[in-house]
Amino acid sequence: MRQVATLGIGQTKIDEHWEHSLRDLAGEAILATMQDSGRLTIDGLFIGNMLSGLIDQQNNLGALIADWSGLRNVEAVKVEAACASGAAAFRSGLMAIASGEMDSALVLGIEKMTDSHPYEVTAALASAADADYEGEQGVSFVGLNALIMQRYMHEFGWKHADFAPFSINAHANAMHNPCARLHMRVTPESFEKAAMIASPINLLDASPIGDGAAAILLVPAESLRNKPRIVVTASASATDTLAIHDRVDTLFLKAAHLSAKSAYRQAGLQPGDINFFELHDAFSIMAALSLEACGFAERGQGPRLALDGAILPQGSLPICTRGGLKARGHPVGATGIYQLVEVVQQLRGECAETQVKNPKIGMAQNIGGSGATILTHILKLADA
């Protein structure tokens, strides 16, 4: 199996892009990536997207975006795994290169959400849960996460205020990311005073949706000989039940545990070897559960890492270094690629005020549904 490396990256600002359509945003991210890569052509295009059918009445995104981006006739396909669509597309592109079927694969994450009414977006997002058993009951996606958070606080004795450092760190880091959707500081006071959405999740526990596109060009690592390069040293995916009522333990992200375990084994690493972790903080509770399932904290002790400052850029395990889903924004199907773009930025040393010190190994984890589909990737800076 051929080792795969990242070449170029590109991204748009996450925002309410009312003047730019789905294809506009995709084209902007692809153009930036091709320029960053110094390439004019590619062998294949893999698109991570969740909602173009439901929100934009547009399927067949592969052909649409290949043509619009000046890549007419190139092989192109869309990959969907709810909010994990981005990382799932990345893994598809990786396998295309690893198999030898292609020598370059452009992986794009794209979502256009803000043209629709928020009610429609809420309904569309509920399609990530079990439509027949969860959606049918009228429970929204934030509602499902609220049930998990409520139980977690009850089980392990945390107060709502204990989750504040997750939000504060994400927002502080996003202040230095021009592509982030939200540029505003959060304090312990503002965190506790934020409007309630679905108790105990309030506005500052939850990530904002948005419009955005991000892309990465993958090539065989061997084609970059004699240069420092960023290689994908692990790629793993696992699933759990879609409905949370089907799980033996709703407070343990089994798919995160399985995919992280597989990734550590592939890379020959332990959790302690990871220099920073771009995790999927769609809600603050998900940040805590992700840290636990991946071996960074004991069961029920995820918030401790945040309270102790370990998650800060200068801490022992920086997370959400560019703002995370919470403040960079969460254009659902694109998020997995934003995370991986940010891992590359850190490994390249391009993160200025929130730069992690000399990182060699970065991990990203992307979650689809309430922990149903989870992908873990580890990228490594390899010397020439």
- Catalytic residues, by residue number, are 83, 330
CA–CA separation, 260 and 50 (whole Å)? 23
> Closest separation between CB of residue 245 and a copy of itself, Å?
12
Residue 380 burial (CB count, 10 A): 22
Sites of contact with a copy of itself (CB under 8 A): 1-2, 21, 23, 44, 50-51, 53-54, 56-64, 66-67, 72-82, 88, 91-92, 95-96, 98-101, 123-124, 126-132, 135, 235-242, 246, 254-255, 258, 368-369, 372-373
Give the DSSP letter of residue 52: H
Contact 16, 211 (CB under 8 A): yes
User: What is the smallest separation between the CB atom of 166 and a copy of itself, expressed in angstroms?
Assistant: 24
Tokens of 168: 């504060």
- Backbone φ, ψ for residue 299 (5° rounding): -55, 130
Closest CB to a copy of itself among 54 and 307? 54
Q: What letter represents residue 347's amino acid?
A: L
**Residue 226 β-bridge partners:** none
Of 155, 154, 153, 125, nearest to 140 (Cα)?
Answer: 125
Residue closer to a copy of itself (CB basis): 297 or 332? 332
Residues in the chain: 384
- Give the shortest CB-309-to-a copy of itself separation in angstroms: 34
Amino acid at 363: M
Token readout for 39 is 């390439």
Closest approach of a copy of itself to the CB of residue 243, in Å: 8
Closer by beta carbon to a copy of itself, 145 or else 235: 235
What residue has token string 């999927």? 280
Q: Closer CB to a copy of itself, residue 136 or residue 155?
A: 136
Alpha-carbon distance of 75 to 107, in angstroms, equals 12
As a whole number of angstroms, the distance between CA 52 and CA 21 comes to: 11
| Secondary structure of residue 238 in the 3-state scheme | strand
- Locus of tokens 């949706």: 209
DSSP 346-373: HHHT--GGGPPSS--EEEEEEEETTTTE
- Nearest approach in angstroms of CB 221 to a copy of itself is 14
Cα–Cα distances in angstroms (integers) from residue 227 to residues 125, 216, 383, in the given order: 42, 18, 7
- Residue among 173 and 373 whose Cβ is closer to a copy of itself: 373
Secondary structure (3-state) at 230: strand
| Shortest Å, Cβ 45 to a copy of itself | 8
Give whichever of 167 and 376 is closer to a copy of itself, judged by the CB atom: 376
Residue 159 class from Cβ within 10 Å (0-12 exposed, 13-18 middle, 19+ buried)? exposed
Query: At closest approach, how far in Å is the CB of 60 from a copy of itself?
Result: 4
Q: Which is nearer to a copy of itself, 44 or 303 (CB)?
A: 44
Structure tokens at 307: 């309270």
Reduce the DSSP state of residue 8 to 3 states and report it. strand
